[in-house]
């Protein structure tokens, strides 16, 4: 439901970065979205297309790479996947783990056509 606000913030960054890079057109926007982030990709794409209209981003492909949820246990010094809401160390059962990945809402990179081509 908050995909529209996320898409708006995303578009601001994309337009600013594209301008900095002197882009004529943005061809691809590549995102990293963590599994724990409450984002529905189809809905994000829909809002993105809507906001891209009549800008240099119109028609750009939105590529969403999902990032799995991973935890780190300071006792075992190990990183592991978290599945089925098992927020504990898979090796020693410690509950006090840190999430290392899975909450990403990140623009990873853009593909642009610049003034040279």
Interface with other proteins (CB under 8 A): 1-2, 4-6, 9-10, 12-13, 17, 21, 27, 31, 36-38, 85-88, 95-96, 99, 103-114, 117
Q: Yes or no: say if 94 and 71 are a contact pair by the CB < 8 Å rule.
A: no
What is the smallest separation between the CB atom of 54 and other proteins, expressed in angstroms?
21
Q: Half-sphere exposure of 89 toward its Cβ, with a 13 Å CA cutoff?
A: 16
C-beta closer to other proteins: residue 30 or 78 = 30
Minimum Å gap between C-beta 77 and other proteins is: 19
Closest to other proteins by CB, 54 or 84: 84
How many beta carbons lie within 10 A of that of residue 103, not counting itself?
A: 14
Give me the least distance between CB of 94 and other proteins, in Å please.
9
The sheet with strand 70-73 has its strands ordered as 78-81, 70-73, 98-101
Owner of token pair 């075992």 = 76
């Amino acid at each position: 439901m908050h995909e529209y606000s996320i898409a708006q913030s995303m578009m601001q960054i994309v337009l600013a970065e594209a301008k900095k890079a002197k882009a004529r057109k943005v061809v691809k926007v590549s995102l990293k979205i963590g599994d724990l982030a409450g984002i529905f990709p189809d809905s994000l794409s829909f809002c993105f297309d809507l906001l891209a209209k009549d800008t240099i981003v119109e028609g750009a492909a939105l590529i969403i790479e999902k990032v799995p949820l991973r935890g780190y246990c300071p006792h075992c010094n190990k990183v592991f996947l978290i599945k089925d809401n098992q927020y504990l160390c898979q090796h020693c059962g410690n509950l006090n783990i840190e999430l290392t990945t899975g909450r990403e809402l990140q623009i990873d990179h853009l593909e642009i056509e610049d003034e040279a081509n």
